[in-house]
Amino acid sequence: MMTSHSMDAALKGAPCKPWLMTLALVLADLSVTALVWTLCVLARHALGGDFRLSAYWSLWPLLGLYVAIYAALGGYRILLHPPREMKICTLGTSLAALLFAALTFWLRNPLDYSRSILLAATVLLLLAVPAMRLAVKALCGRLSWWGYPAVFYGFDAMPPQTVTSLLARLDPSIRPLALLTHDPSHELLEAVGLPVLDGAEALSGMGETRVNGLFIVLAGTEATEDFAKVMETASAHFTKTIILHDAMYLGNHWGRTVDVGNLLGLEIMQRLMDPKRMLLKKSTDILFSVILLLFALPVMGLIALCIKMDSRGPAFYTHERIGRGGRTFAMFKFRTMVCNSEEVFQDIMADEDLRSDWEAKHKLCRDPRVTRVGRFLRRTSLDELPQLFNVLAGDMSLIGPRPIVAEEREKYGEVFEMYLRVRPGMTGLWQVSGRSTLDYPARVELDAYYIKNWSFWLDLSILIKTPAAMCNLQAAF
């Protein structure tokens, strides 16, 4: 077991370079902004645009305007939640476009600049900037200098599965180094894969050490006498302290701190209860589904033809799912299985291994019922394109929890009541977080997280990640 002295040495040796992390994001923003603007200018010029290229090249210092606005909105905080980052990028890009239009109007002859270039560049940047940031974080997350070293402190006896579940969900920007607790059991040490130390001894042994990192307190539902002392000691050694409380399980990232009688409180906002936001979500669903259908209809026709050529039976099929308020609806999909799938399913359930796999995930990795074309459609999620008609009908949303069947109701437990508050979605957190590689409890947890933390920006963040998730063929079956 690691001693307090060795933990002290590990903390001192843990690289933490916030300036380098910020620089990586700044360079990413500048690079993608310059690339998008260059492509838009050259494309418009090649299509016969009547303007001088030099008029745009002279404006390259204004690219820093994007970085300045993102910084002013807090866009370079490393521990930024993805939906908040999406909101900042969207607002920042839109504001930069307005300022860019105003500056070019006042500084030069506005006829020298094309409004179509500004519009095209802005639309592309709304997608490209968040996508570029995702790519940079995924790449830099593997490097030793990315992220903050973190020490976790738990007051209560913590079940190993609780700690391992928390560590598995951590953002790459948080690098756990040790777990301090009042009960450093050997079972906990083996389960979490981190050094587990006696909390009081480890903190007292730090001396004058100051760490540019995180001290994350796992506070229980009952306050302990040592809480204030631990917080005071941690503030003397760590630059940042984060409190995680049992009452905030699965969190609410749109909460805000409030002062109640000189005590710190957290106001939780249930956005799914706001009629205005629900109207915005439904309007967005209809608008995007109509646009997507215009592009998807030719593809859907080709897919239907391939299905008919591959196996006998209809190209489409419907399946009854549970929707908002418990109302059932017929969900449309492309047929990916053989027509006698029910008979084959009974044979599958006779196999003990396949039956246990089905009970755990409600899916099979190698399902003998799936056709050749169906296997490709499932891996790419193209079999779900007909659900755009469900979105138009108001039965589903573009983004939301996965639609479930009646047999799955018991697996949701108490979360099922939350599930009934929203429309199920074509895509969601489950699809962009691992898809079929996740077990069923993880899927339920992700659905609960989505419902508690829903916002337009969370939906937009999921939408940006969906194409990459569709390309991850190993995570779908």
Q: What is the pLDDT of residues 205-222, one digit of tens each?
A: 777 777 788 888 877 655
What does the block give as tokens for 16?
């933490």
At 220-278, the pLDDT tens digits run 655 566 777 888 888 888 888 888 776 555 456 667 777 787 777 777 777 777 788 88
Is the alpha carbon torsion for 41, 42, 47, 51 positive or negative?
A: positive
At 172-193, the pLDDT tens digits run 888 888 888 876 665 666 667 7
Dist. CA 249–CA 404, nearest whole Å: 24
Largest Cα span, the chain:
77
Number of helices followed by number of strands (H, E) in the chain: 20, 11
Q: What pLDDT sits at residue 60? A: 84
Decide if pLDDT at 318 tops 60: yes
What does the block give as tokens for 86?
């999406």
Dist. CA 103–CA 159, nearest whole Å: 59
At 430-460, the pLDDT tens digits run 888 876 667 788 888 888 888 888 888 889 8
Dist. CA 216–CA 148, nearest whole Å: 11
Decide if pLDDT at 380 tops 70: yes
The domain spans of the chain are 18-140, 147-249, 275-336+371-475
In CATH terms, the fold of domain 147-249 is Rossmann fold (3.40.50)
Decide if pLDDT at 156 tops 80: no
Residues 12-18, mean pLDDT to the nearest whole number: 70
Nearest in space to 199 (alpha carbons), one of 246, 262, 154: 154
Q: How many CB atoms lie within 10 A of CB 397?
A: 24
Q: What pLDDT sits at residue 189? A: 62
DSSP 147: S
Please give the mean pLDDT across all residues of the chain: 81
Q: What pLDDT sits at residue 196? A: 78
User: Which amino acid makes up residue 170?
Assistant: L
Percent share of the chain, pLDDT over 90:
26
Q: At what angle do helices 18-46 and 115-140 cross, to 10 degrees?
A: 150
Residues 306-325, mean pLDDT to the nearest whole number: 90
Decide if pLDDT at 476 tops 60: no
Residues 417-423, mean pLDDT to the nearest whole number: 89
Scanning 108-154, the segments in alpha helix (DSSP H) are 115-140
Decide if pLDDT at 138 tops 60: yes
Q: What pLDDT sits at residue 333? A: 92
Q: What pLDDT sits at residue 334? A: 92
Q: Which residue has the higher pLDDT, 422 or 263?
A: 422
Q: Which residue has the higher pLDDT, 228 or 408?
A: 408
At 18-43, the pLDDT tens digits run 889 999 999 999 999 999 999 998 89
What does the block give as tokens for 26?
């700044």
Q: What pLDDT sits at residue 132? A: 94
Dist. CA 313–CA 308, nearest whole Å: 7
User: Which amino acid makes up residue 415?
Assistant: V
pTM greater than the 0.85 cutoff = no
Decide if pLDDT at 128 tops 90: yes
Mapped onto helix, strand or coil, the DSSP state of residue 191 is helix
What does the block give as tokens for 422?
């929203």
Scanning 14-77, the segments in alpha helix (DSSP H) are 18-46, 53-57, 64-72
Decide if pLDDT at 473 tops 70: no
Select the highest-mean-pLDDT range: 157-161, 165-169, 321-325: 321-325
Mapped onto helix, strand or coil, the DSSP state of residue 103 is helix
Decide if pLDDT at 382 tops 70: yes
